[in-house]
Structure 1
Amino acid sequence: MARITKDSIQFGEGNFLRAFVDYCIQILNTETPFDGKVSIVQPLPNGTLSELKRQKGKYHLFQEGILDGKTQRNRIQIDCIDQMINPYESFESYLKLAENENLTFVFSNTTEAGIAHDENDDFNASPPQSFPGKLLRFLYQRYEKFNGDKDKVLHIIPCELIDKNGSKLRDIMTALCDQWQLEEDFKTWLKTNHFYNTLVDRIVPGFPTKDLDFYKKGLPFDDRLMVTSEPFFLWVIEGDQKLLELFPVDQLKDVNVTIVPDLGIYRTRKVRILNGGHTTIVPLGLLHGTPTVSGCLEDPFLKKFLSQTLYEEIIPSIDFDKEALEDYAQSVLERFSNPFIIHQLASISLNSISKFKVRVLPSLLNYNKKQNKIPKNITFAMAALLYFYGKEVSQHQVALKDDASIIAFFDQVWKDSSVGEVVDKTLSNTALWDQNLTEVPQLKETLTQALTAITSQKTIAEAYQAFNP
């Protein structure tokens, strides 16, 4: 069968892209007629590209964890990387990549802050500072090289964890066209490039921090950029099925790439079940004296609490196929119990109030609307969160990591206030929730009961038993 040569450029050389996009390209090259090389562009002045060059673009990926009830641990060498360009050192080499006839895809992960409009960015800089600026300059080079040929447009697939990432990237680049006063013909050509919204889902701890001798054993070279990940892999791309003619990911057995007309439910599912599960269990686990996610899944009380919350409260609050949501929840619990990933609850606790608002509160409100009652476990988790932020009362040893104004609010609200007053002042603080939660039927009363149980009992488990006997 004839090979399909489709090359890519990738903005970012970090662990995630190397364990996600590059792994996917590697498997495509091995299992399908796809024949693709990836040229990596370092998006920031400082990075690890020099080390990757030392290794000639090669490194090893170790996939470790539980998938479909089975423990997996395997290794694969990645060798699909071609050129490695630092545009801050060799801007001409960077622009030369745009002249590749076979170039088809652009991938990126420049963090959530990367897709942003820099009003001070300069077309004539070598390179422009922002990622959208760099990509726009790159596309302009391609436009000029091929005289605006519409057959030379690219498929741009960002992996940054923001909603509508492709649409936002396109809009920022369009605004930069105006800012840089680029010609109308180029703007028209730019809009014929394909920008995709995506959702990526894979936990990538990165370089192994323990048992290093195990990972080094049998390697053909000294790999200083080996990367570990869980075996779970999900990549949802919002687009037309015609993309499969260029990117035949539907032929892969062990890599789940789904192309859909609307990825909304996939984002909702991930945010509410996976991220919401994390946010729900963090204050309970830390107050219970359990420091890690996998430790929570080994503790009978915390495991039962999380499972009940997912299956009996969060899933019923989501308007989607129940069986599909339950299958996803089961995979989430498997992933949380991964013995190879040490995920500290303290690190997940960063900005817990805003995370609760985005990840958990919608489940509480939707459940209340659909069931005409308050979900007890979510409310208890919210009470644990309020108690966790009242450090002078809870006396835990974990540092609060949040906006200074939020920490100050809880410091003040817990001083000389009764439990009922803490609940009332917190729920009515629209700066926290973007709405007055005292107006939600039964929430104030139920949350007061939960927080009363927590403040009056010795342990969080005893408090839950008192609240929900």
Structure 2
Amino acid sequence: MSSENLKRVIQFGEGNFLRGFVDYFFFKLKEQNLFNGDIVVVQPIEKGMCKVLKEQDCKYNLFLRGIENGEIVEEHSNIDIISDCINPYEDFEKYLSLAKDENFRVIVSNTTESGIKFDEKDALEDKPARSFPGKLTQLLYERFKNNLGGFIILSCELIDNNGKELEKCVEKYIELWNLGDKFRKWIHEENKFCSTLVDRIVTGYPQSEIELKKLENKIGYKDLCLDTAEIFHQWVIEGDFEDELPFVKAGFNVIWTDDVGPYKKRKVRILNGAHTSMVLGARLYGLTIVRECLEDELINGFIKKCIFEEIIPTLGNSNEDIKFGKAVMERFSNPFIEHQLLSIALNSVSKFDVRVLPTILEFKEKFGNYPEALSFSLACLIKFYKGDEANDSEEIISFIRENNIESILSNRDFWHDDISDLIPLVQKHYTMIEEEGMGDSFKYIVGKGQ
């Protein structure tokens, strides 16, 4: 490999998400001559796609599809940014040798929500350590012993403070394996563990035969690592390494910041909150996928009311919030994604508690009354759980089926806050659903205040 084509990134994870998100970013950077390296992928668990990826020279096709500014957009790329894929369970020495190459500067990871875990059974001598943080510590220690500089470490796992949590795990391995204060000092001074927030729906390898054939016809051959994703993307990163990783210059929706928190709140409240507040009522109304909700005038009006009249006002009504809300409406309308309402409805009680309830309570605090649409969605949740499609723990389903609204809303095992104040309004909505049906109830809620 020539000096103009240096390997610069070590990536833990070879799944659909990283290949449809981070790898695409680096591929585009290179296309614009803003990055002169490659990515070496490390398979973080014993079974993975390393072998399949290597069999096709680490190249794969990515199709991005969705709606942008009201227009259907499709983009096809043949991604060739990955230069190698290493399975540390089969070649541990090759894995460790990455630490000795000073051209590596960035580490990216997505090892799922359960990936950032400390395992006290891991030993430094293991080839490799079982946990991802254990493997990372082995690599970092090898780097330290070779007197080389540290890394920019970008964690993409879907947990709060992912970078900080990963750093804490490395700290624990330093302690467990007695790696010494000099190494600890090097970890903190030479490496930057960045917490990040990722946002893109990556739909992966096509599940329907018809869609698969259509895409294979476009590329002209079979690609076992074919990946698909929506057009929308956002990557919020704590830190500022734009000079080394010029994502913003390349035109990406990447935000360098001191605190991911406000962006996380926006995503949870608007995107996830809209999902959770619409899904159960829409299902009771007879719809099956998210896109149908946008195509139905009534449910579309309900979602708009939730997002633009109730959720965003509690966040401050900034232009950025409104822009994000509009993007959410376009993402929900994506004609290429069949997002099942029942899959979103899984564990709705805990989701409602985290994603919707804080908005309801903040709305009351800010405006003096409870929001109609979001409190109606709580009545829909109770109605849905009293039916036979609820998918949650047996205890939660049984309790809701066997109790009245007052008992349900007073159950502090379900709700972090005291929401007994909501009982009369939710009871009113629930009675309306029972007596008028879902269609007329939605009409009432959407029409109110207009």
TM-score bracket for this pair, using the shorter chain length: over 0.9
Correspondent of 1:437 among 411, 419, 422: 419
Q: Matched residue of 1:433: which SS?
A: coil
Task: Name the SS for the 2:112 alignment partner.
Answer: coil
The one-letter code of the counterpart of 2:362 is N
Match of 1:401?
Answer: 391
1:302 to 299, 302, 306: 299
Q: Which residue in 2 is equivalent to 1:419?
A: none
Q: Is the 8 A contact 1:5 1:34 kept in 2?
A: no
Tell me the equivalent position of 1:60. Answer: 61
Pick closer, same or farther for the CA change 1:383–1:294 going to 2, 3 Å: same
Which residue is equivalent to 2:430? Answer: 451
| Per-residue deviation, residues 60-83 of structure 1 (Å, max 9, x unmatched) | 000111012111112000001011
Letter in 1 for 2:76: R
1:221 deviates by 4.3
SS at match of 2:237: strand
After superposition, give the CA deviation of every residue in 1:359-379 in whole Å (9 maximum; x if it has no partner). 111110110100010000000
**Cα distance per residue 1:334-383 (max 9 Å; x no partner):** 00000001100111111111111111111101101000100000000011
State the partner residue of 1:259. Answer: 256
Alignment counterpart, residue 207 of structure 1, candidates 196, 205, 208: 205
In the alignment, the residues of structure 2 paired with residue 6 and residue 246 of structure 1 have an alpha-carbon distance, to the nearest angstrom, of 14
How many angstroms apart in 1 are the aligned matches of 2:8 and 2:228?
A: 25
SS of 2:335's partner is coil
The 2-side partners of 1:217 and 1:54 are apart by: 21
- The letter for the 2-side match of 1:433 is W
CA contact (8 A) 1:4 1:33 kept: no
- Check the 8 A contact 2:298/2:443 in 1, yes or no: no
1:189 aligns with 2:190: no
Q: Could you tell me how far apart the structure 2 residues matched to 1:43 and 1:6 are?
A: 19
Distance 1:342 1:51 in 2: 27
Per the TM alignment, residue 412 of structure 1 is displaced from its structure 2 partner at its CA by: 2.6
Question: SS state of the match for residue 255, structure 2?
Answer: strand
Aligned to 1:323: 319
Amino acid at match of 1:449: K
CA–CA distance in 2 between the matches of 1:130 and 1:412? 43
Deviation at 1:411, TM superposition (A): 2.9
* Aligned-residue offset at 1:466: 5.3
Which SS does the other structure have where 1:197 is aligned? strand
Instruction: Give the 3 Å change call, closer, same or farther, for CA 120–408 of structure 1 in structure 2.
Output: farther
Give how far 1:121 is off.
2.2
- For residues 82 and 401 of structure 1, the distance between their equivalents in structure 2, rounded to whole angstroms, comes to 43
- Separation in structure 2 between the aligned mates of residue 463 and residue 187 of structure 1, nearest angstrom: 61
Find 1:381's aligned residue among 374, 377, 380: 377
The 1-side partners of 2:444 and 2:294 are apart by 22
Deviation of the 1:283 alpha carbon = 0.2
Residue 411 of structure 1: which of 386, 401, 405 is its match?
401
How far did 1:229 drift?
0.6
Distance 1:218 1:338 in 2: 20
SS of structure 1 residue aligned to 2:72: strand
Which runs of no fewer than 5 residues in structure 2 stay unpaired? none
In 2: Cα distance, 1:306 partner to 1:37 partner: 42
Counterpart amino acid of residue 185 in structure 2: T
Q: Which residue of 2 aligns with 1:425?
A: 407
Please report how far the alpha carbon of residue 404 of structure 1 lies from its aligned counterpart in structure 2 after TM superposition.
2.7
Deviations 1:385-439 (A, max 9, x none): 0111112xxxx5x3x22223212322332xxxxxxxx22111111111123211x
* Cα shift at 1:5: 4.4
* Equivalent position SS for 2:242: helix
**Secondary structure of the structure 1 residue equivalent to 2:53:** helix
User: 1:201 is matched by which residue type in structure 2?
Assistant: D
State the match for 1:29 in structure 2: 30
Query: What's the CA shift for 1:452?
Result: 1.1
Cα-to-partner distance string for 1:224-257 (whole Å, 9 max, x where unaligned): 11111111111111113xx11111112112x211
Out of 437, 442, 446, the residue aligned to residue 464 of structure 1 is 442
Q: Any idea what the Cα deviations from partners look like across 1:198-218, whole Å, max 9, x if unmatched?
A: 111101111123322221124
Structure 1 distance, partners of 2:444, 2:272, is 27
| TM-score, normalised by the number of residues in structure 2 | 0.95
Equivalent residue number for residue 121 of structure 1: 122
Deviation at 1:220, TM superposition (A): 5.6
Shift of the alpha carbon at 1:6? 5.8
Q: Percent of pairs identical after alignment?
A: 40
Structure 2 residue matching 1:245: 3-state secondary structure: coil
Q: For the Cα contact (< 8 Å) 1:174–1:187, is it kept in 2?
A: yes
TM-score (structure 1 length as normaliser): 0.91
Residue 282 of structure 2 aligns to a residue whose secondary structure is helix
Give the aligned residue type for 1:429: N
Alpha-carbon contact 2:6-2:37 (below 8 Å) kept = yes
Structure 1 residue 122, shift from structure 2 partner: 2.2
Deviations 1:10-38 (A, max 9, x none): 11111010000100010010113311211
Q: How many matched pairs?
A: 442
Q: What residue is the counterpart of 1:161 in the other structure?
A: 158
1:429 counterpart SS class? coil
2:351 to 355, 362, 369: 355
Q: Which runs of 5+ in 1 are unaligned?
A: 414-421
User: Aligned residue for 1:417?
Assistant: none
What does residue range 25-174 of structure 1 map to in structure 2 within 5 Å?
Answer: 25-146=26-147, 149=148, 152-174=149-171
1:32·1:248 contact (CA, 8 Å) conserved in 2?
A: no
Q: Which residue of 2 aligns with 1:345?
A: 341
Residue of structure 1 in register with 2:172 after alignment: 175
Secondary structure in structure 1 of the residue aligned to 2:299: helix
Give distance in 2, aligned partners of 1:340 and 1:71: 10
The alignment status of 1:336 with 2:314, answered yes or no, reads: no
Query: 1-side partners of 2:248 and 2:342: how far apart?
Result: 38
Paired residue type of 1:426 = I
Secondary structure of 1:430 counterpart: coil
What is the rounded CA distance, in whole Å, between the counterparts of 1:106 and 1:77 in structure 2? 23
Q: Is 1:133–1:173's contact at 8 Å kept on the other side of the alignment?
A: yes
Give me the CA root mean square deviation: 1.6
- SS of equivalent residue, structure 1 residue 350: coil
Equivalent-residue separation in structure 1 for 2:326 and 2:6 (angstroms) = 38
